[in-house]
Chains A and B, each alone.
Chain A
Amino acid sequence: MKRVGPLLRRILVPVLSVLTALLLGGVVIILTDFDNLQKIGTDPLGTLGGAVQGVLNAYGAMLAGAFGDPNRIITALQTGNAADIARAIRPLTETLVSTTPLIFVGLAVSISFRAGMFNIGGDGQLMIGALAATASAIALNGVIPAWLILIATIAIATLAGAAWGFVPGFLKARTGAHEVITTIMLNYIASLFVFFILTTSPALRAAGSTTPVSKQLSSIVDVPNLINLPTIRLDFGFVVALLMAVAVSWLLFRTTKGFELRAAGFSSTAARYAGMSAGGSMMLAMSLSGGLAGMAGGFLVIGTVGQLSLDLSGGIGFNAIALALLAGLRPSGVVVSALLFGALTQGGKRMGIDTGIPFDLLLFIMALVIMFVAAPGLIRSIWRVRVAKPAPEIAQVSSESAGTV
Chain B
Amino acid sequence: MRLELRDITKRFPGVLANDRISISADRGKVLGMLGENGAGKTTLMNILSGLYKPDSGQIFIDETERTFGDPVAAIEAGVGMVHQHFMLVPVFDVVEAVALGAETTKDALGTFDRAAARKRIVELSERYKLDVDPDARIESLPVGVRQRVEILKALYRRSDILVLDEPSAVLTPYETEELYAIIRSLAADGTTIIFITHKLNEVLEVADDIVVLRRGRVAGTADPKTATRQELANMMVGRDVELIVPKGPAKPGEVVLSIEQLFVRDDRLEMAVNGVDLEVRAGEIVAVAGVQGNGQTELVEAITGLRTPDSGAISIGGKRTEKWGPRQVSNLGVAHIPEDRGRDGLISPMTIAENYILDTYHEAPYSRNGVLNLKVVRERAAQGVKDFDIRTPSIDTYAGALSGGNQQKVVVAREFSVPVQLVIAAQPTRGLDVGSIEYIHRRLVEQRDAGAAIVIVSTELDEVLAVGDRIAVMYAGRIVGILAGDDATYENLGLLMGGATYGEGTAA
Which residues does A use to contact B, with CB under 8 Å?
A: 253-257, 259-260, 262-263, 266-267, 269-276, 392-393, 395-396
Confirm or deny: B336 has a beta carbon within 8 angstroms of a beta carbon on chain A. yes
Determine if A396 and B350 form an interchain contact, defined as CB atoms under 8 angstroms apart. Answer: no
Determine if B367 and A256 form an interchain contact, defined as CB atoms under 8 angstroms apart. Answer: yes
Per the bound structure, the CA–CA distance linking A166 and B374 in Å amounts to 30
Per the bound structure, the CA–CA distance linking A396 and B350 in Å amounts to 12
- Among B343, B345, B374, B398, contact of A254 (Cβ-Cβ < 8 Å): B374
Asked, given contacts A254-B371, A256-B371, A266-B349, whether A275 binds B343 with beta carbons under 8 Å apart, the answer is: no
Interface residues of B in 349-408 (CB under 8 A from A): 349-350, 354, 357-359, 361-362, 367, 370-372, 374, 398, 400
Confirm or deny: B187 has a beta carbon within 8 angstroms of a beta carbon on chain A. no
Confirm or deny: B338 has a beta carbon within 8 angstroms of a beta carbon on chain A. yes
13 A-B pairs within 8 Å (CB atoms) are namely: A256-B362, A263-B354, A266-B349, A267-B343, A270-B344, A270-B345, A270-B346, A273-B359, A274-B358, A275-B325, A393-B349, A395-B349, A396-B349
Contacts of B327 on A, CB cut-off 8 Å? 275-276
Determine if B354 and A259 form an interchain contact, defined as CB atoms under 8 angstroms apart. Answer: yes
Nearest-Cβ distance from residue B290 to partner chain A, whole angstroms: 22
Confirm or deny: B141 has a beta carbon within 8 angstroms of a beta carbon on chain A. no
Determine if B372 and A273 form an interchain contact, defined as CB atoms under 8 angstroms apart. Answer: no
Contacts of A393 on B, CB cut-off 8 Å? 349
User: Top 6 closest A-B pairs, CB basis?
Assistant: A392-B349, A275-B327, A274-B359, A275-B326, A274-B358, A273-B344
Determine if B330 and A275 form an interchain contact, defined as CB atoms under 8 angstroms apart. Answer: yes
Nearest-Cβ distance from residue A268 to partner chain B, whole angstroms: 10
Contacts of A396 on B, CB cut-off 8 Å? 349
Tell me the nearest residue of chain A to B367, going by C-beta: A256
Confirm or deny: B306 has a beta carbon within 8 angstroms of a beta carbon on chain A. yes
Interface residues of B in 458-498 (CB under 8 A from A): none
Confirm or deny: B347 has a beta carbon within 8 angstroms of a beta carbon on chain A. yes
Contacts of B354 on A, CB cut-off 8 Å? 259, 263
Contacts of B344 on A, CB cut-off 8 Å? 267, 269-270, 273
Q: In which size bucket is the chain B interface? A: 20 to 34
Determine if A270 and B326 form an interchain contact, defined as CB atoms under 8 angstroms apart. Answer: no
Asked, given contacts A267-B343, A270-B358, A273-B326, whether A256 binds B370 with beta carbons under 8 Å apart, the answer is: yes
Q: 17 more A-B contacts (CB under 8 A) besides A259-B361, A263-B358?
A: A254-B372, A254-B374, A255-B371, A256-B361, A256-B371, A259-B354, A266-B349, A266-B350, A267-B347, A269-B343, A270-B344, A270-B345, A271-B347, A273-B326, A274-B358, A392-B400, A395-B349
Contacts of A255 on B, CB cut-off 8 Å? 367, 370-372
Interface centre among A262, A269, A274, A392 (most CB of B within 10 A): A274
Tell me the nearest residue of chain B to A264, going by C-beta: B347
Nearest-Cβ distance from residue A181 to partner chain B, whole angstroms: 25
Per the bound structure, the CA–CA distance linking A267 and B354 in Å amounts to 13
Tell me the nearest residue of chain B to A392, going by C-beta: B349
Per the bound structure, the CA–CA distance linking A263 and B346 in Å amounts to 10
Interface residues of B in 316-333 (CB under 8 A from A): 325-327, 330
* Residue interface mask B109-149, A partner, CB < 8 A = 1: 00000000000000000000000000000000000000000
Per the bound structure, the CA–CA distance linking A271 and B359 in Å amounts to 8
Determine if A263 and B350 form an interchain contact, defined as CB atoms under 8 angstroms apart. Answer: yes
Per the bound structure, the CA–CA distance linking A271 and B350 in Å amounts to 12
Contacts of A392 on B, CB cut-off 8 Å? 348-349, 398, 400
Per the bound structure, the CA–CA distance linking A263 and B359 in Å amounts to 11
Nearest-Cβ distance from residue A172 to partner chain B, whole angstroms: 20
Nearest-Cβ distance from residue A64 to partner chain B, whole angstroms: 42
Nearest-Cβ distance from residue B360 to partner chain A, whole angstroms: 9
Tell me the nearest residue of chain A to B371, going by C-beta: A255
Asked, given contacts A266-B349, A396-B349, whether A259 binds B372 with beta carbons under 8 Å apart, the answer is: yes
Contacts of B361 on A, CB cut-off 8 Å? 256, 259-260
Per the bound structure, the CA–CA distance linking A267 and B357 in Å amounts to 15
Tell me the nearest residue of chain A to B336, going by C-beta: A273
Asked, given contacts A255-B371, A256-B371, A392-B398, whether A272 binds B326 with beta carbons under 8 Å apart, the answer is: yes
Determine if B306 and A272 form an interchain contact, defined as CB atoms under 8 angstroms apart. Answer: yes
Nearest-Cβ distance from residue A291 to partner chain B, whole angstroms: 18
Nearest-Cβ distance from residue B130 to partner chain A, whole angstroms: 38
Per the bound structure, the CA–CA distance linking A385 and B367 in Å amounts to 40
Determine if B349 and A273 form an interchain contact, defined as CB atoms under 8 angstroms apart. Answer: no
Contacts of B347 on A, CB cut-off 8 Å? 263, 266-267, 270-271
Interface centre among B327, B348, B349 (most CB of A within 10 A): B349
Contacts of A275 on B, CB cut-off 8 Å? 325-327, 330, 359
Contacts of B358 on A, CB cut-off 8 Å? 263, 270, 274
Per the bound structure, the CA–CA distance linking A250 and B178 in Å amounts to 60
Contacts of B350 on A, CB cut-off 8 Å? 262-263, 266
Determine if B345 and A256 form an interchain contact, defined as CB atoms under 8 angstroms apart. Answer: no
Contacts of A272 on B, CB cut-off 8 Å? 306, 326
Per the bound structure, the CA–CA distance linking A254 and B369 in Å amounts to 11
Contacts of A254 on B, CB cut-off 8 Å? 371-372, 374
Contacts of B398 on A, CB cut-off 8 Å? 392
Contacts of A276 on B, CB cut-off 8 Å? 327
Tell me the nearest residue of chain B to A269, going by C-beta: B344
Determine if A273 and B371 form an interchain contact, defined as CB atoms under 8 angstroms apart. Answer: no
Interface centre among B338, B343, B344 (most CB of A within 10 A): B344
Per the bound structure, the CA–CA distance linking A7 and B447 in Å amounts to 42
Per the bound structure, the CA–CA distance linking A358 and B345 in Å amounts to 53
Nearest-Cβ distance from residue B344 to partner chain A, whole angstroms: 5
Nearest-Cβ distance from residue B469 to partner chain A, whole angstroms: 27
Determine if B370 and A257 form an interchain contact, defined as CB atoms under 8 angstroms apart. Answer: yes
Determine if B336 and A256 form an interchain contact, defined as CB atoms under 8 angstroms apart. Answer: no
Nearest-Cβ distance from residue A117 to partner chain B, whole angstroms: 16
Per the bound structure, the CA–CA distance linking A273 and B329 in Å amounts to 11
Per the bound structure, the CA–CA distance linking A371 and B303 in Å amounts to 47
Contacts of B400 on A, CB cut-off 8 Å? 392
Per the bound structure, the CA–CA distance linking A387 and B370 in Å amounts to 36
Asked, given contacts A263-B358, A266-B350, whether A273 binds B370 with beta carbons under 8 Å apart, the answer is: no
Interface centre among A255, A263, A273 (most CB of B within 10 A): A273
Contacts of A263 on B, CB cut-off 8 Å? 347, 350, 354, 358
Per the bound structure, the CA–CA distance linking A255 and B377 in Å amounts to 12
Determine if B338 and A273 form an interchain contact, defined as CB atoms under 8 angstroms apart. Answer: yes
Nearest-Cβ distance from residue A126 to partner chain B, whole angstroms: 28
Per the bound structure, the CA–CA distance linking A31 and B372 in Å amounts to 55
Per the bound structure, the CA–CA distance linking A266 and B347 in Å amounts to 7
Per the bound structure, the CA–CA distance linking A257 and B358 in Å amounts to 12
Nearest-Cβ distance from residue B122 to partner chain A, whole angstroms: 42
Nearest-Cβ distance from residue A288 to partner chain B, whole angstroms: 14
Per the bound structure, the CA–CA distance linking A270 and B327 in Å amounts to 13
Contacts of B374 on A, CB cut-off 8 Å? 254
Nearest-Cβ distance from residue A255 to partner chain B, whole angstroms: 5
Nearest-Cβ distance from residue B305 to partner chain A, whole angstroms: 8
Contacts of A259 on B, CB cut-off 8 Å? 354, 357, 361, 372
Per the bound structure, the CA–CA distance linking A394 and B338 in Å amounts to 27
Contacts of A274 on B, CB cut-off 8 Å? 326, 358-359
Contacts of B348 on A, CB cut-off 8 Å? 266-267, 392
Per the bound structure, the CA–CA distance linking A273 and B349 in Å amounts to 16
Per the bound structure, the CA–CA distance linking A108 and B473 in Å amounts to 52
Contacts of A260 on B, CB cut-off 8 Å? 361
Per the bound structure, the CA–CA distance linking A270 and B306 in Å amounts to 11
Per the bound structure, the CA–CA distance linking A256 and B369 in Å amounts to 9
Contacts of A395 on B, CB cut-off 8 Å? 349
Nearest-Cβ distance from residue A269 to partner chain B, whole angstroms: 5
Per the bound structure, the CA–CA distance linking A263 and B370 in Å amounts to 15
Contacts of A271 on B, CB cut-off 8 Å? 347
Contacts of A262 on B, CB cut-off 8 Å? 350
Per the bound structure, the CA–CA distance linking A121 and B306 in Å amounts to 33
Per the bound structure, the CA–CA distance linking A253 and B374 in Å amounts to 9
Contacts of B325 on A, CB cut-off 8 Å? 275
Per the bound structure, the CA–CA distance linking A395 and B349 in Å amounts to 10
* Residue interface mask B84-113, A partner, CB < 8 A = 1: 000000000000000000000000000000
Nearest-Cβ distance from residue B27 to partner chain A, whole angstroms: 47
Nearest-Cβ distance from residue B54 to partner chain A, whole angstroms: 26
